[in-house]
Every structure is written in structure tokens, then in C-alpha cells.
Chain A
């Protein structure tokens, strides 16, 4: 039986490098979806948390994490879904925010504040031209985590990662 040197930092790096299937420029580490990595009794356990209760990407992400770890020499990893503490866009890294903008998606506002029921929208710069002359078309976009906007300066529609 070979002795596997379980390296938590390496496991975290391999699991964290898995990308969101809907937004492939974002890793689950940048997204804040990867919550914890443990080794108990020689078995690897990974905790991930959903962005939204009904996020359909979670099953794929869990599968990809297991596959990536197996390929890196850590077979049989178990992925656990945890709900608490509840995911917030505040956990998204600066690298993740920059990657989103480069991909054409406006990143969430810096801090997920408590919004009034009918409050004004935060300033959302166009990810393509940077203009603040933007308007929200719909708070619900192509996935649960995105809203639909358009820029009145460069006339391009764009997605915004919703503040949660």
C-alpha cells in the first residue's frame, strides 16, 4: 500500500481550481463556493455551498471536484453541501471580480448591503466601455445569480452578477 502524502494546501488548490460550469472564467475558490477542505481517517472531504437554494450547477461542481481530486491522486473524495453560513457575493475575490468583468459580466457591488424594498440600484458600470450610463432591464437573467442590464452609451446589453 502506497503512502499518500495528504497535502491540504494542494487539495485545496486542486478543488478550488474547478470552474463554475455556467461562468467558466470563475473558479469555485474565486466564487467563494469552496468552503472547507479536510482530511479525516485518510479520506478527503470537501465542503461547497450553493449560491442560490436551487442552483442547478451544484451537482456538476461536486462531480468535477471529485474528478479533479481523483486525477490529482486523491481518489474517493467526498463532497458535502453546506448551507450555513449562507453564501454572499462579499466572498467573491478581487481576482474573481476582475475575471467576470473581462468576461463581459458586471461584478456584484462591493458589499451586499441590506437593500430597501424599492431602493435605487447601485451604480453598475458597463463591463465593456466602463460607462455609468446603464439601466437595468430585469432583475432576473440567464441564471439565478445574474440580472440583465444594458448600456446606453455603447448600446450593448450585459449581465450583472447580482448582489446577494
Chain B
């Protein structure tokens, strides 16, 4: 089935950015279903993925209404191609080992908890309502990921080495999470740069307990917010969108 063209405005783009973050992250987490290191973790990652999928749906529904082109949440999720996705690159990277999955969940939750907290006071009532739900859910995600960061970082030589490698690999992808919003809608959404102190404080606290070192400032990867993605996203979308592309409008 053909792709849709999205009538993009700054607000639609900003909503899609966070919706795509949540959807793509949810999909990567769901890949662990049936493969996690233990049953409790299998359930936990699937639960976190479900929360993110719910947040993505709320954001896509609102983006579709703002766009006003008659599209629905499923059109936005299943009928856009990779260059139309606005997710940050960190979410589309292959799930990697368990340490990488946890490090990604930790970094993103450490940014998104203060992001949603700030969004709760948005003058846009719809954004504030979505935020009030998401903030409660992310609190659980951050605690879960933080506990695993400590357990693996302060665990065996093997778990420490793997977690240190995951942190080194993913750190250069964290910068994109702080990109500024378009000036015309900046008042509706949190000022990403202002979230840095909260993010750094969470990282400092958890890394101190986990015996991990915060990587030094350096080159940061970016591109996802303007549709320039790694090759991994296309492969992921081919799997995720296959059914709706092959059988348009299929329902249960």
C-alpha cells in the first residue's frame, strides 16, 4: 500500500517526534518477548513496551487531529516510510544485548521523566493530559532500568564490562534527545535544554552506585529528528508495517 504524505506543521512534527520515539522503542523492547534472561524480566520489558505503545497512540491520535487530513493513528504508524519518521536515532539501533537494552531504557527514561513532568503544565490541555499519565508510567520505567544499571554495573566482571560497553556505545546518541523545539511551538512543550540538570543528576547518582563512568563530552550523533536515519529503521519498519502494507485496513 502506498505511503501517506503528512501535512507537517511544527506541532505535528514535534508530536510525531515523541510518538515515533515511543513506538520505535516499544517495538525494540517487544523483541525481547520470549527471549529475556528470566520470566520476570520478560514480563517487565513487555509491560514497559505496552506503556510506551499506549503513549505513542495518544500522541499519534493528537497529531492526526492537529494535522486535520483525515489520517488516523494507524496511518501514522504504518503508512509512513523511514525518512518520514522523526524518532531519535538511539531508539532504532538494534536491541543489542541485555545491557544495551537496559542502558537505552535508562537514558531515555532519565530524559523523559523530567520532560513529561514539565509537559504536565503545558498550556495545551491535551499535551498536559497525555503527560499526566505518561509521567507516572515513566517513573516505574526509570526505577526498573536504574536498578538494573546498578545490578549489572556493580555485578560481575562480565556484567560490568558489558554495561560499560553499552554506556560507551549509546552515550553519543543521548545528545539528540535534547534538541530544541521549533520556536513557534516552544511555549507548548518542555524546553529540552532545561532538562539537562535533572538528567545529569540521575546519571551521576546511578553511575556512582553502579561503579560506571560518565563518558566525557564528545561528538553526538543526530539526524533522526529530520528524517535522516540509520539503515536499521528501514528493516524494523519492514517487519512492523508488513501486515498493514500487504493487507490495507486489516483488523482483528
Query: Out of A50, A56, A84, A141, which one reaches B43, CB within 8 Å?
Result: A141
Given A54-B52, A117-B143, A137 and B40 touching (CB < 8 A)?
A: yes
Contact status B48-A140, CB under 8 Å = yes
Q: Which 10 A-B pairs have the closest CB atoms?
A: A54-B54, A53-B54, A84-B129, A140-B44, A86-B132, A138-B40, A54-B50, A83-B129, A140-B47, A86-B133
Asked if B142 and A117 make an inter-chain contact with CB atoms under 8 angstroms apart, the answer reads: yes
Question: A115's closest neighbor in chain B, by CB?
Answer: B139
| Per-position binary interface string of chain A over residues 46-86, scored 1 when its CB falls under 8 Å from any chain B CB and 0 otherwise | 00001011111000000000000000000000000001111
Q: How many residues of A contact B (CB 8 A)?
A: 25
Residues of chain B having any CB pair with chain A under 8 Å: 40-41, 43-44, 46-48, 50-55, 57-58, 125, 128-130, 132-134, 136-137, 139-140, 142-144, 146-147, 202, 205
Contact indicator A53/B55 (Cβ below 8 Å): yes
**Contacting residues, chain A, for B46 (C-beta < 8 A):** 140
Taking a contact as CB atoms under 8 Å apart, the answer to whether A54 and B53 are in contact is: yes
Could you tell me if B143 and A144 are in contact, using CB atoms closer than 8 angstroms?
no
> Footprint of B on A, CB under 8 Å?
50, 52-56, 83-87, 115, 117-118, 137-144, 148, 162, 164
**A139→B143 contact, CB < 8 A:** yes
B72 shortest CB reach to chain A, Å: 15
Q: Is the CB of A118 within 8 A of B129?
A: no
B123 to chain A, nearest CB (A): 14
Question: Contacts A117-B202, A137-B40, A140-B44 given: A54-B51 contact, CB under 8 Å?
Answer: yes
Does B136 contact A86, Cβ atoms closer than 8 Å? Answer: yes
Residues in B with CB closer than 8 Å to A138 are: 40-41, 43-44
A-B contact number at CB 8 A: 78
B133 engages A139 (CB within 8 Å): no
- Apart from A83-B133, A84-B132, A140-B140, list 11 A-B contacts with CB within 8 A: A52-B51, A52-B54, A54-B52, A54-B57, A55-B54, A84-B125, A117-B142, A117-B202, A140-B44, A142-B43, A148-B40
- Name the residue on A nearest B135 (C-beta): A86
Q: Which of A86, A117, A141, A162 contacts B146 (CB 8 A)?
A: A117
In the complex, what's the smallest C-beta–C-beta distance from A81 to chain B, in angstroms? 10
Residue of A at shortest CB range from B42? A140
Main secondary structure of the interface of A (DSSP, over half): loop
Given A85-B132, A118-B146, A144-B47, A53 contacting B57 (CB threshold 8 A) = yes
- Cβ–Cβ < 8 Å partners of A118 in chain B: 143, 146-147
Which of B41, B48, B129 has the most chain A CB atoms inside 10 A of its CB?
B129
CB distance from A86 to the nearest CB of B (A): 4
- Contact A140 B134, CB 8 Å, known A52-B54, A53-B55: no
| Candidate in A54, A143, A144 with the most chain B CB atoms within 10 angstroms | A54
Q: Min CB distance, A12 to chain B, in Å?
A: 23
Q: Is the CB of A139 within 8 A of B132?
A: no
B residues less than 8 Å from A84 (CB atoms): 125, 128-129, 132
Identify which of A52, A83, A140 contacts B132 (C-beta below 8 A). A83
**In the complex, what residues of A have CB within 8 A of residue B53's CB?**
54
Give the chain A neighbours of B144 by CB distance below 8 A.
139-140
B134 surroundings in chain A (CB, below 8 A): 53
Q: Which of B47, B58, B129 has the most CB of A within 10 A?
A: B47
